[in-house]
Structure 1
Amino acid sequence: MRAKKSSDLISPTGLIKLMTHALMGAALGLVFGLALILSNPAVANLLSHGGTQAVVVFALTLVTTFAIGATLTGAVFILVENKQS
């Protein structure tokens, strides 16, 4: 019988991997937001008339959404990697 191995998500290296995935997601969210503003003049017009708060809400929504998605995907990748080894 095999000894039960603890999950790599709880270890310091697992947390660093998850933080890396979250940061990659945040960067992707910013890039997507910039691409959306540059490719769609209606979005740029709404942001310019909305003021600073509209820009902050727009950026934070995209960054948070992409960061959460990338973190969850990274957790799945780490767990699948553990099962294979």
Structure 2
Amino acid sequence: MPPKRRSAVAKPAILIELACHTFMGATLGLGFAFALTQLDAFGISTLIEHSLDPHITFMIFVGVLTLSFTVGATLTGFVFTMMEER
């Protein structure tokens, strides 16, 4: 009896799941960056305002925070998806 092969239908489903996790991470990262810069509970917006170029500093801060959340959520989603496949 030949070994069971995985169906080709599972691969697009995995990519869709990873895309959903990526989108979720980007959304959470943007939301968290918005909360940190607008609420000013930790003085981050004050530090950004007193930098040499506040617009660039703001964009870098939001970009790095969003990227880190996005990568983290994508990798976590990949691990969860691979564990489900077992």
**TM-score of the two chains, using structure 2 as the length reference:** 0.79
Aligned length: 81
Could you tell me the percent identity over the aligned residues? 37
Q: Provide, for residues 25-66 of structure 1, a one-character-per-residue CA deviation record: whole Å limited to 9, x for no partner.
A: 011111111222214252011122331100110010011000
Letter matched to residue 19 of structure 1: A
Who wins on radius of gyration, i.e. which is larger?
Answer: 2
Paired residue for 1:15? 15
Q: Which moved more, 1:32-41 or 1:47-56?
A: 32-41
**TM-score of the two chains, using structure 1 as the length reference:** 0.80
| Contact in 1 for aligned 2:48/2:57 (Cα 8 Å) | yes
**Tell me, which stretches of 5 or more residues in structure 1 are unaligned?**
none
Structure showing the higher helix proportion among its residues? 1
**Tell me, which stretches of 5 or more residues in structure 2 are unaligned?**
none
Q: Which moved more, 1:59-68 or 1:43-52?
A: 43-52
Displacement of 1:5 after TM fit? 2.5
Letter matched to residue 50 of structure 2: H
For the aligned residue pairs, the C-alpha RMSD in angstroms reads 2.0
After the TM superposition, list the runs of 4 or more consecutive aligned residues in structure 1 that deviate by more than 4 angstroms. Answer: none
